[in-house]
Structure 1
Amino acid sequence: MITVIWDTWLKPGTEREGLRLTRQVWSDMRSFDGYISHQIFIDQDDPGHIIALANWRNRADADAVREKYKDSEMIRQFTPLLARPRERWTTCEDQAS
């Protein structure tokens, strides 16, 4: 299993719509092969900062879904709300800890 971390910064005034679209994107992910689960975190000091952690069966699944979904209507709606491009990290848990 891998965890993909998405770091999102929204433009001021778009926080409500950005969170709504973030929730919709992750709801959509449930229908893709390899998706396991996700969590969304909202920065309490800056509600325009959202971090999503998504668990996938493997990196190939996560990368394939990213490629399929990147031109979706949801992403077309979401992109103009971004203060800067989203960052994405693909991680695995340290099993020694």
Structure 2
Amino acid sequence: MIRVLIERHIAESLETAYEERSRLVLQQAVSTPGFISGETLVDSHDPNHRITLANWRSEADWDRWYHSRERRELMAELVPMMDRDEIITVLEQSPTP
């Protein structure tokens, strides 16, 4: 299993529109093979800073979703609502010594 950390910063006054569209992205991801679970958190010091933490079966599953036509189409609606590029970090369990 891998975890994908997605950081986004929403442009001022677009929070409500962003929330509606981002829900659609998550709904689509949930139905994608390999998706395990996900949650979105709000920075307590910056309410426009969102962090999504998603668990995927494998990096290959994540890559298929990331490069899918469905995600590209949904992101085309979200990107104009963000005031900077999203930052994606793929995380895996560190090996135990």
TM-score by length of 2: 0.89
Query: 2:38 matched to 1:38?
Result: yes
* SS of alignment partner, residue 93 of structure 2: coil
Task: Write out per-residue CA displacement over residues 42-85 of structure 1, whole angstroms, 9 at most, x where no aligned residue.
Answer: 1122221100000000000101111003421x212111001111
Structure 1: give runs of 5+ residues left out of the alignment.
Answer: none
Q: What is the root-mean-square deviation of aligned Cα atoms in Å? A: 1.6
- Residues in 1 aligned to 2:80 and 2:28: alpha-carbon distance in whole angstroms: 19
Tell me the CA shift for residue 37 of structure 1: 0.4
Higher strand share: 2
Aligned length, in residue pairs: 96
TM-score by length of 1: 0.89
Structure 2 letter corresponding to 1:89: T
Aligned-pair identity in percent equals 26
Structure 2: give runs of 5+ residues left out of the alignment.
Answer: none
Tell me the CA shift for residue 20 of structure 1: 2.1
